[in-house]
Amino acid sequence: MTEFDRFVDILKAAGEGTRLRLLALLAQGELSVKDLTDILGQSQPRVSRHLKLLSEAGLVIRTAEGSWAYYRIAETGGVADFVQRLIGEIDEDAPRLVNDRKALARVRQMHRAQADAYFSQIAASWDTIRNLHVPESALEKAIMHAVGKKKIGRMIDLGTGTGRMLELLSARYARGTGIDSSREMVAIARAKLAAASISHAHVQLGDISQPDREIGPADLVVLHQVLHYFDDPGVVIEQAARLLNGEGRVLVVDFGPHELEFLRKEHAHRRLGLGADQMNSWANGAGLEVSLFEEFPNDNANKDLTVCLWVLSRT
C-alpha cells in the first residue's frame, strides 16, 4: 500500500502527456536520453526534466554510463504494477503513440545499421581486435570450466562473430548453431569451421534480438561479447531464455562497467559495460538467475577494462 502523499506525487508525475509517452516508450525497453530526444523531437533539457520527475516518483529507473544515461520503467513493487496498469489503459492506436513507435523503430534500425557497418569494416581482423581487450587464455579456460564436461545436446551462439565459441566448445556439443547479422562475419565463421573440420556446427544470418524459435530448444545459449552493442541487453537475454530447454543455461561474457567513451565512438559500443545489479535484473526479467559470476581484470592493452563471465540458470 502506497502512502497517500507519495501516491499523489506518483499521479502528478504520470499525469502529463510527454511523460505518458515516455512511459509507453520505456515499456518497449531501455533507452538512452539521446534516443528519447530523437524519438520525441524535443530538446534534451526538456526530456531530461520529464525523466527526472518520473525517476523521483519511482516510475522509471535511471542507470548512468559515462556521459550517457539509460532509463527503464520500474520493475518491482506496487509502483511497477501501477505503471503497467497505467500503460495498459492507454489506447495503443493513439496517433501520438503510433508515431512514437515508428520513430523508435527508426532509431533502433539506425543503431543496427551503425553496428553492421562497423562489423563489415573490421570482420577480417575481429579476433585480433578482441584480443586487445580480453585476457583470452584465462577467459577461455574459465568458459570451458563453466560449461562443464557433460555433453551438450544443442548449443546456440547468438552474435557468433567469427565463430570462436563454436570452435572452442566444439567437443562439448552434439549440434551447434551460430547466428549473426553481419554477412562478413558469417562468411569468416563458416570458413573457420570448415578449416577446423567442425561439421556438427553451422552459422547463419539472423537478428539475435528476434531469433527464430525453431533453432531451439537449446541446452546452452552463448552471448560472447555481444550485449554491449545493444541499448537494452535485457531484450536479448529474454530472447536467449526463450530458446532454452527446461534445464538450459545462458553463458554471458562481456565487459564490466567502465568509462571508456572512445569505445562508443570508435567501436560501436552502446553500453559501457554491464553491472552486477543490471545483470541480476535482466536475468530475473527473463525468468533466470545468476548461478555463476567471475571477473577477469585486463593485463593487456587497457587495464581499465574488466571482462566478466555470468552463467544464468532457471530459477
Strand, coil or helix: what is 264?
helix
Residue 122: the pLDDT is 65
Q: Using alpha carbons, list the distances in angstroms from residue 202 to 10, 88, 208, 223, 227.
A: 51, 42, 15, 16, 22
What's the pLDDT at 216? 86
- Give the pLDDT confidence score for residue 309 in this predicted structure: 96
pLDDT value at residue 135: 60
Paired strand residues for 155: 176, 220
pTM across the whole model? 0.67
Per-residue pLDDT at 185: 81
Alpha helices in the chain (DSSP H): 4-14, 17-26, 33-40, 44-56, 77-89, 95-122, 126-133, 136-147, 164-168, 183-195, 233-242, 262-267, 276-285
Domains located in the chain, CATH noted = 4-90 (1.10.10.10), 125-314 (3.40.50.150)
Q: Give, for all 315 residues of the chain, the pLDDT tens digit.
A: 567 777 677 777 777 888 889 988 988 877 888 889 999 999 999 999 999 988 888 888 887 756 777 788 886 677 778 888 888 888 888 888 899 999 988 887 887 676 667 666 665 555 655 555 556 778 899 999 999 999 999 999 999 988 999 999 999 999 899 999 887 888 788 878 877 888 888 888 888 988 888 888 999 999 999 999 898 999 999 999 999 999 999 999 998 998 888 888 777 788 889 999 999 999 999 999 999 999 987 765 555 778 999 999 998
Using CA atoms, how far residue 53 sits from 20, 43, 110, 242, in Å, is 12, 16, 29, 35
